[in-house]
Each structure stands twice: as structure tokens, then as C-alpha cells.
Amino acid sequence: DTGVSQNPRHKITKRGQNVTFRCDPISEHNRLYWYRQTLGQGPEFLTYFQNEAQLEKSRLLSDRFSAERPKGSFSTLEIQRTEQGDSAMYLCASSLGAPGWDTEAFFGQGTRLTVV
Amino acid sequence: TQLLEQSPQFLSIQEGENLTVYCNSSSVFSSLQWYRQEPGEGPVLLVTVVTGGEVKKLKRLTFQFGDARKDSSLHITAAQTGDTGLYLCAGANNQGGKLIFGQGTELSVKP
């Protein structure tokens, strides 16, 4: 297994366009998380899935954002009608159970979105 | 709302110097994790601390969890240029699976 894989690595889009990112977690991991990180800041939680169920969504996740994890495998994050404020690194992480003393969350390399 | 405050936000030191990064919160966490992130990459876990007062060492890095499990520190001895990067603390609680991250400490170690 090569770890958590995110595609694309970079995306430049015009304001108002829709974009979709994909995350392939480590194969046996039942939990999948999406975070957003702006330059010089720590990642901010967006949403997470346990298998195919979306268990929590942050208030940061406006109506323009939607995430899915069909069949509990890969996940997609779609942003509709992108705005310049959406420019950020979008990180995906996966884990076997909740991150804590005996469980590590593994992060992908992220998708850097630039809205022009 | 649980928040983690890291200080300092930026740190520029010479190779061989020691440094300490702090991570503070008014909330109690069941565990606290430290990550290191390089430009264009995702965060990579360094250590997890769970017990109040716990101290863990990873070569030249020493991590401590406060007695009340609200704060933590990372101490690096004799910093090397390879230590350069963004250091993040993240708290986990028992109420869900998400991690709450601090804003990070950007460390630059100059030769």
C-alpha cells in the first residue's frame, strides 16, 4: 500500500467553476477525513466518514461543499461555484478507528486549489 | 469550541541551538499529537501523548503533556537544518474522530 493518495495535486480554476477532488485512503482504513489548510495555518476540520456514513460536518462546510464516500472506499470533495476564498490546500487523512493513543491518522499530500 | 494555541508562530535559529514550542488550550484532550509538515506535503505524525505529565523522547525531540492534559510542549536539543518545517500540535477527544489542530510553528534552522 502506498498510503493515502490525493488527486489532483494541484488545481487552478476560474471563480465560479466547480471542482472535484479525490482521495484514496489506505485500503483497510474505515475512517476518512477532509481538512482545509491555508498558508501558514494548521489544518481545519471539514468532515469525516466512517465507512460510507458521513458522521460530522464542520460549519466551515458551506452549502457549496459536498463530500461523498460511496461504498466506503475512495472519497470525493466537490466545491461548487468556487470563490477566491476557497484557495487552500485540501488534505485527506485516513485511520483505522478514531485517532488517539493507539491509532494514527495518515495524511495524503493534499490538493492545492487556486481560484483565480 | 476547542482551540489549541501554539507559540511561537515563527522561530528562526542557528544550527546547534535548543528550542521549545508550546501548545496550550483551555480544554482537556484525551490525547495530543505532534506532527511535522514539509512544504507541499501532508503532516506526518511524530508522537502521541496520552497521560497527564507524560514525557516522550524521540532522539533529540522531547514531548511533554501537561498534568491537566490541556497543554503540551516540544523541545528540540541541538537543532539541525533537517529539523526545518512546520510543527503542528493536534488534540483528540472522545466525542468524535476529528483532530483539532493548532495554527503551527514555522521553524527555520540556519547552518
Per-residue cell: B24: 496550550
Confidence of residue B29 (pLDDT cuts 50, 70, 90): confident
Using the beta-carbon criterion (under 8 Å), do A99 and B42 form an inter-chain contact?
A: no
pLDDT at B106: 96
Place of cell 501537561: B66
CB B99 within 8 A of CB B48: no
CB B68 within 8 A of CB B91: no
The dihedral through the CA atoms of A111, A113, B3, B5 has a sign that is: positive
For A84-103, the pLDDT digits (tens) are 999 999 999 999 877 776 77
Helices (H), strands (E): how many in chain A?
0, 11
For A1-31, the pLDDT digits (tens) are 579 999 999 999 999 999 999 999 999 899 9
Using the beta-carbon criterion (under 8 Å), do A98 and B6 form an inter-chain contact?
A: no
Q: State the DSSP code for A38.
A: -
For residues A66 and A68, give the distance between their C-alpha atoms in angstroms, rounded to a whole number.
7
Per-residue cell: A110: 493534499
What does DSSP say about strands B10-14 and B105-110: parallel, antiparallel, or unpaired? Answer: parallel
Residue A99: its chain B contacts at CB < 8 A?
A: 31, 33, 92, 97, 99
From B36, B33, B79, B90, select the one nearest B56 (Cα to Cα): B33
Confidence of residue B94 (pLDDT cuts 50, 70, 90): low
Task: Decide which of B80 and B93 is more confident.
Answer: B80
- Considering only alpha carbons, which residue of chain A is nearest residue B41? A109
For B32-74, the pLDDT digits (tens) are 999 999 988 999 999 999 899 999 999 999 999 999 989 999 9
pLDDT at A2: 75
For A43-73, the pLDDT digits (tens) are 999 999 999 999 999 988 889 999 999 988 9
The residue of A5, A34, A36, A45 whose CB has the most chain B CBs within 10 angstroms, and thus the best one to mutate to test that interface, is: A45
pLDDT at A104: 84
Using the beta-carbon criterion (under 8 Å), do A99 and B92 form an inter-chain contact?
A: yes
pLDDT at B46: 95
Confidence of residue A116 (pLDDT cuts 50, 70, 90): very high
Q: State the DSSP code for A63.
A: T
pLDDT at B30: 85
For residues B103 and B24, give the distance between their C-alpha atoms in angstroms, rounded to a whole number.
11
For residues A106 and B76, give the distance between their C-alpha atoms in angstroms, rounded to a whole number.
24
Residue B41: its chain A contacts at CB < 8 A?
A: 109-110
Type of residue numbered B95: Q
CA distances from A32 to A91, B15, B42, B72, B111 (A): 11, 38, 14, 26, 39
Q: State the DSSP code for B95.
A: T
- A115 has a pLDDT exceeding 80: yes
CA distance B22 to chain A (A): 14
CA dihedral B43, B8, A45, B48 (to 10 degrees): 50
The mean pLDDT value for B10-33 works out to: 94
Backbone torsions φ then ψ of A98, nearest 5 degrees: -75, 135
